[in-house]
Structure 1
Amino acid sequence: MKIVTQVKLMPEAGQAAALRSTLRTVNEAACWVSVVAFERRVPREYELRKHTYGELKARGLGAQAAQHVIKKTCDAYTALKANLRAGNLGKPSSKRRLRAAAKPIVFRPEAAQPYDDRCLSWQYDAGTVSIWTTAGRLRNVRFACSPDALKMLREHRKGESDLIERDGVFYLIAVLDIPETEPYEPSGFVGVDLGIANIATTSTGYRAAGRGLNRHRKRQLALRKKLQAKGTKSAKRLLKKRSRKEARHTANVNHIVSKAIVTTAERTGSGIALEDLTGIRSRVRLRKDQRTSLHSWSFHQLASFVEYKAKRAGVPLVYVDPAYTSRQCSECGHIDRCNRVDQATFACRACGTLMHADDNASHNIRRKGEAEWTAGRESRVPATP
């Protein structure tokens, strides 16, 4: 299983200038390679290398750096094609999709640049790295990370690391290849209902209320509007300072919630059943005042956190179809739109069961997860002699 860890570089003034100049140079070169790929219609790496490698070397890039620039550009076009194919950029006639497909991909000056072991070496004991730049090899560039992250780097770092600049600070995003724990045979499943009012509700009774997170988002939105309307230098400086604060806070909450879900499943020897909510934003129709809440809903991030934590712990995980989980009675199975009285209340019209709507949905998801796991298991019937 591959995960990433982030370390902060603490270069001296001259080293920082060299790193900044390197990122600007390689991303400017990547933009040029992108134009060549777009105009000549050669997104494949081997073909693109014939048209661009010599020029990249002439621009002062090393052999490995030039290869990484070409590969980065090809990967960007591959990702664009995948997004177009999946409909993530809208319908074929949408302005967003047409605009994305009608021009070359552009790389930001501080965009990530991949480094392999030929361009970057780690000295864990000294807490330094040696890294290639356009000004030559920089040695003894200090880095900082937590003791746990350092241990993970020592034991599991493998493959490329990305150099990025964020708000004037340099980071290395290193890839870790961690062996997965063999999943156990679950005694049951924990159904997890994801929502906005409640971030996650499990069939075991755990409920992560979304009140605090939604309040934080509204406060951040109001503050951004106020600062943007003011428009002064100090307001713009404060906006930049507070950028990504909401995203960091949301990610922290999702880490806490996902850890609680996986820990409960591991302690009880159960598996985890999650809803497959792919494409829900395009399917749901809401009023204009509700759209901000829907598009701020980080269900995919929470699901990905649960997934990788479950893999590390060996907890079985399945995705189920969310259809009718909020309308079906978990006691008698009756499906009726009128069963859902309001956001929080479920009252079955057939058997009279009354419970919290999210609790009811989590029980339905649990049952679907058990059925999915049973259907997907290998047959235990002995082979015919």
Structure 2
Amino acid sequence: MEEMTVTAKIQISVNADSKVFLDEIMSVYSDACNYVSDYVFRTHDLKQFSLNKALYSTLREMFGLKSQMAQSVFKTVIARYKTILENQKEWIQPSFKKPQYDLVWNRDYSLTQNCFSVNTLNGRVKLPYFAEGMAKYFDHDIYKFGTAKLVNKHGKYFLHIPVTYDVEESNVSDICNVVGIDRGINFVVATYDSKHKSGFVSGKAIKQKRAHYSKLRKELQMCQTPSSRRRLKAIGQRENRWMQDVNHQVSKALVESNPKHTLFVLEDLSGVRNATERVRTKDRYVSVSWSFYDLEQKLIYKAKQNQSTVIKVDPRYTSQCCPVCGHIEKANRDKKLHLFTCKNCGYKSNDDRIGAMNLYRMGINYLEDSQVPDTVTTE
């Protein structure tokens, strides 16, 4: 069995009184996080025991936090610093600008199928919430709730709850279907599967919308006013949400259109951001900012939920190798026409489809050899 965690997001229904209570605790909690963050930045102390010894009384007296709330503040700040140190490799002080409140399950909050109960500075508050899609998670023999985060977005209150559960691991011997997935810009994905069927998701509409956002961003950057900077930030967030939704829909469709125990084969595109020197300057925004990684991550966790597997393979020659005769030559591919023509046997097809076919072949080799192939073979 393998443990998986998904985040359930629910909207809380608030009235005037409960709004005051939630706003107060979220604001105080964020202020307390900033206070602890400043101390950690000065001392580089990330041990909860010593932070508790130095700051616990202050959090209780200065901010009026209850015991569990104070412990949650320490955990929130420590987790943020550890993330920064892991990603940036240096001490950078995080700022908790947006009101938030981290809630420990069965201490700070509880949840039934029709009621959200939360601990505030004014005692317990019980509130209704929009429960669509939550019913299945209340089987606590299967699903376990973790530390949730209460946030305020545009005047609406949301609870983000990590839900952990076990899924069966897919063994190589269980694989019944292989799908090669070529990711790109002309087509978001091109696929080729064990039934020798091809599929395409066009990237044209996405490319046009991103070009619109890029043009708008350039115009706002030229203004250099406070309002234009606020607008820039809002547009960036909107584009990110939209692109994540697209990737969610594409990854969901890929998993649902294939049976359980499917092997999905992707190119390892981890170096795509370092390849800008080979891309024309005017094309760099599209090629480098295209969200390959987000699509990959969404596909991985959705595949696990369906007892399927994702592997990543070396992308070299996947668009230059003929899937019929195995001949590899750079001239086989015409990037402008998106056409592959084998210089040896004359086989013709869309270049993205060729990539998917070769990834499918690498998936078959993986099943035969029980190890990820180094590169596309010429067999």
> Scaled by the length of structure 1, what TM-score is found?
0.83
1:193 maps to 182
Alpha-carbon distance between aligned partners in 1 of 2:349 and 2:24, rounded to the nearest angstrom: 61
Unaligned stretches of 5+ residues in structure 2: 372-379
Question: Are 1:134 and 2:138 counterparts?
Answer: no
Alpha-carbon distance between aligned partners in 1 of 2:80 and 2:233, rounded to the nearest angstrom: 27
Cα drift, residue 288 of structure 1: 2.9
SS state at 1:314 partner: coil
1:113 maps to 102
Decide whether aligned partners of structure 1 residues 228 and 142 sit closer, same or farther in structure 2, where only a CA change above 3 A counts: farther
1:213 maps to 206
Alpha-carbon distance between aligned partners in 2 of 1:152 and 1:369, rounded to the nearest angstrom: 34
Alignment map for 1:1-385 (pairs within 5 Å): 1-58=4-61, 59-84=63-88, 101=90, 103-111=92-100, 113-124=102-113, 127-139=114-126, 141-146=127-132, 148-153=133-138, 156-183=143-170, 185-203=174-192, 204-223=197-216, 244-266=237-259, 270-285=262-277, 286-343=279-336, 344-376=338-370
Cα drift, residue 353 of structure 1: 2.4
Cα drift, residue 160 of structure 1: 1.6
Cα drift, residue 55 of structure 1: 1.6
Decide whether aligned partners of structure 1 residues 221 and 75 sit closer, same or farther in structure 2, where only a CA change above 3 A counts: same
Alpha-carbon distance between aligned partners in 2 of 1:233 and 1:336, rounded to the nearest angstrom: 53
Post-superposition CA distance 1:310-364 (Å, at most 9, x none): 1111123222222222222222333333222115122223333221111111111
Alpha-carbon distance between aligned partners in 2 of 1:241 and 1:39, rounded to the nearest angstrom: 33
Alpha-carbon distance between aligned partners in 2 of 1:317 and 1:114, rounded to the nearest angstrom: 33
2:239 maps to a residue whose letter is: E
Post-superposition CA distance 1:219-244 (Å, at most 9, x none): 34444555676799998998787674
Q: Is the CA contact (8 Å cut-off) linking 1:180 and 1:311 kept in structure 2?
A: yes
Alpha-carbon distance between aligned partners in 2 of 1:366 and 1:16, rounded to the nearest angstrom: 54
Decide whether aligned partners of structure 1 residues 210 and 10 sit closer, same or farther in structure 2, where only a CA change above 3 A counts: same
Alpha-carbon distance between aligned partners in 2 of 1:66 and 1:365, rounded to the nearest angstrom: 51
Alpha-carbon distance between aligned partners in 2 of 1:311 and 1:351, rounded to the nearest angstrom: 39
Decide whether aligned partners of structure 1 residues 19 and 181 sit closer, same or farther in structure 2, where only a CA change above 3 A counts: same
Alpha-carbon distance between aligned partners in 1 of 2:347 and 2:123, rounded to the nearest angstrom: 72
1:90 maps to none
1:66 maps to a residue whose letter is: A
Decide whether aligned partners of structure 1 residues 315 and 35 sit closer, same or farther in structure 2, where only a CA change above 3 A counts: same
Aligned residues: 357
Alpha-carbon distance between aligned partners in 1 of 2:49 and 2:266, rounded to the nearest angstrom: 41
- Quote the sequence identity (%): 28
Decide whether aligned partners of structure 1 residues 54 and 338 sit closer, same or farther in structure 2, where only a CA change above 3 A counts: farther
The CA RMSD measured in Å over matched residues stands at: 2.8
1:137 maps to a residue whose letter is: R
Post-superposition CA distance 1:177-215 (Å, at most 9, x none): 233144261234110011122111101311001111222
Moved more, 366-375 or 73-82: 366-375
SS state at 2:166 partner: coil
Post-superposition CA distance 1:70-98 (Å, at most 9, x none): 1111111211122135xxxxxxxxxxxxx
Alpha-carbon distance between aligned partners in 2 of 1:219 and 1:150, rounded to the nearest angstrom: 40
Alpha-carbon distance between aligned partners in 2 of 1:159 and 1:138, rounded to the nearest angstrom: 20
